[in-house]
């Protein structure tokens, strides 16, 4: 299955582009995130904490926020926003 994925933040430096085409077997959002890491290993520390997807990672399917267990339909577009760190409370 081919899925267009738009990535933000530090994941963009791992993929080399803001928008990439992901070739994967299909499945859930969690499967798609795993496929992104398989294709772009440098994205792993931005998307995973040990073996779990970081709770702060946000994924959208066709502009709608999606849960990790949601199925990714054929021809859907994904957006992946990793955890944003930095700043300070004053």
Compute the distance between CA of residue 40 and CA of residue 44 in angstroms, rounded to an integer.
Answer: 8
Q: What is the pLDDT along the chain (90 residues), one digit of tens a residue?
A: 999 999 999 999 999 999 999 999 999 999 999 999 999 999 999 999 989 999 999 999 999 999 999 999 999 999 999 966 554 444
Which is nearest to 54 in space by CA: 39, 40, 35, 33? Answer: 33
Q: How far is CA 40 from the centre of its chain?
A: 11
Structure tokens at 62: 């066709």
Q: Domains plus CATH for the chain?
A: 2-81 (3.10.20.30)
Sequence-ordered list of residues with C-beta below 8 angstroms from that of 73, at least 6 positions apart, any chain: 61
Q: Max CA-CA distance within the chain? A: 47
Handedness of CA 20, 11, 32, 57 (dihedral sign): negative
pLDDT value of residue 68? 97
Classify residue 43 as exposed, middle or buried by CB count within 10 Å of its CB (0-12, 13-18, 19+): buried
């Amino acid at each position: 299955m081919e899925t267009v994925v738009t990535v933000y933040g530090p994941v963009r430096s791992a993929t080399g582009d803001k928008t990439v085409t992901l070739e994967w077997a299909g499945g859930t959002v969690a499967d798609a995130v795993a496929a992104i890491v398989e294709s772009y290993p440098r994205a792993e520390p931005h998307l995973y904490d040990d073996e779990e997807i970081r709770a702060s990672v946000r994924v959208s399917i066709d502009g709608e926020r999606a849960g990790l267990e949601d199925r990714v339909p054929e021809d859907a577009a994904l957006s992946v926003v990793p955890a944003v760190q930095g700043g300070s409370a004053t």
